[in-house]
Amino acid sequence: MIWFSALVLIPLVAVVVTAIDGGWTVFWNTITNGQTMSAIKLTVFTAAGVTLVNVIMGPLIAWVLVRDRFWGKSVLEVMIDIPFALPTIVAGLVLLSLYGNADSPLGIDIANERPAVFLAFLFVTLPFVVRMVQPVLEELELDVEEAAASLGASRMTTFRRIILPSLTPAIAAGAALSFARGVSEYGSLVLLSGNLPFKTEVTSVRILSSIENDNVAAAAAVATVLLAISLAVIVLLDVLQRRVAARG
């Protein structure tokens, strides 16, 4: 508990206190500021969208890794973790060189565009759901699926009523992580997105620029809003997960 307090609670409280210290007007002015609002919107919606993609693709990738046998499987297994291991700024460089200039080897140039933010989020959050679901899937006993089959359940029904409810806690946890990571992402997107106000500027960049302008209160205000949103999403996912698991 002390450990948890020192590492998590005290810094979080400090942020909120700093935000309040600046006074209510400063807080309100900061977050209703058009540029800030636009940054918050972009960050939250993109993170939500990316999380949605991960919720669908993550279990699929995990399924392939656990159930299928194919050439190069162990290589893929390692590759999944690369977005974890890579310093995010390096990830940003990689993305920039692939998708970010006129002579891109893939012929795609999305530098300074909103899809750049989406792509950067997607890249860094890919492993979360996969890695949460994989061990659960590995532990799922085959005879449970066979039992369902012998009771007359089709593959689809077995998946929907037996496999999915067992996976939802893991998917929800992965989704929460993926969303939180998306909201806080900085390194991988600063290069590719160009940080254009009202267009591709995300909240983490906004916070940094506030601090650089010596406006700590404004930075803390934005941070507090992000904190509240993240908390709400985590609670929401937990409720959702309980619902799905109970429906079984």
- H-only helix segments in 9-163: 10-21, 24-32, 34-67, 73-79, 82-85, 88-99, 114-139, 142-150, 155-158
The yes or no reply on residue 143 touching other proteins (CB under 8 A) is yes
Binding residues with other proteins: total (CB under 8 A) = 19
Closest approach, Cβ 148 to other proteins, in A, equals 7
Contact (CB, 8 A) for 43 and 179 = no
State the nearest-atom distance from the C-beta of 161 to other proteins, in Å.
8
CB of 159 to other proteins, least distance (A): 13
> How many C-beta atoms surround the C-beta of residue 158 within 10 A?
18
Query: Does the protein bind other proteins through residue 104 (CB under 8 A)?
Result: no
Nearest to 92 by CA among 71, 69, 76, 116: 116
Residue in this structure with the two tokens 């060189």, named with its chain if needed = 97
Site string for other proteins, 146-165 (x = CB under 8 A): xxxxxxxxx--x---xx--x
Angle at 76 between CA 101 and CA 166, to 5 degrees: 115
Would you count residue 139 as binding other proteins (CB under 8 A)?
no
Nearer to other proteins, 89 or 147 (CB): 147
Where on the chain is the footprint of other proteins (CB under 8 A)? Answer: 141, 143-144, 146-154, 157, 161-162, 165-166, 245, 248
